[in-house]
Amino acid sequence: MASTVADLARRVETVQSSIPETLGGQLNDFDLRFEKLEHRVEELSNTAPGLPPVDQLLAAVDNLVSTRIGGLDERLADQVHAIELLREASSQTDALVQKLILAVEGLAAQAAEQQAGIETRATEEGEAGDDRLQQRGYPVA
């Protein structure tokens, strides 16, 4: 058993001595990659155009939005005015149609009265005409 413990102890020492070399190599690789990334970020930040401050961006957006909203408000007011004009025109049209209906009904009533008067006169004249024919000696049925 002592030989097994001694063998394990040697193995542990071997692994412990190789850990710094393995980790050191990996750390060096990580350091190099990190430095490359830092350098790339600096290059991009130096070459990228400067962005305007947030206040300027908000002001520009507010200006665009307020302009469009103003245009929409103006169009909406025009539409409301047009709707009011159409309502007035519709009311006037309804009133004129009612007057036209009353006038047509009045004319129809007058035409019916005239037709009745003509028929009455024709009947009276027809009887008078029959009397004249009889007086002249023509047979009347």
80 with 126, same domain: the answer is: yes
In a domain? residue 141: no
69 with 99, same domain: the answer is: yes
112 close to 105: Cβ distance less than 8 angstroms: no
**Can you tell me the distance from the alpha carbon of 26 to that of 43, in angstroms, rounded to the nearest whole number?**
26
pLDDT tens track for 61-91: 999 999 999 999 999 999 999 999 999 999 9
In a domain? residue 125: yes
83 with 18, same domain: the answer is: no
61 with 73, same domain: the answer is: yes
**Can you tell me the distance from the alpha carbon of 33 to that of 27, in angstroms, rounded to the nearest whole number?**
10
- What is the domain range of residue 131? 53-136
Q: Give, rounded to a whole angstrom, the gap between the first and last alpha carbons of the chain.
A: 162
| Domain finish residue from 50, 72, 89 | 50
69 with 45, same domain: the answer is: no
> How many helices and strands (H and E) does the chain possess?
2, 0
The structure's pTM equals: 0.41
User: Structural domain tally of the chain?
Assistant: 2
pLDDT tens track for 14-62: 776 766 666 667 777 888 898 999 998 888 877 766 777 888 889 999 9
In a domain? residue 41: yes
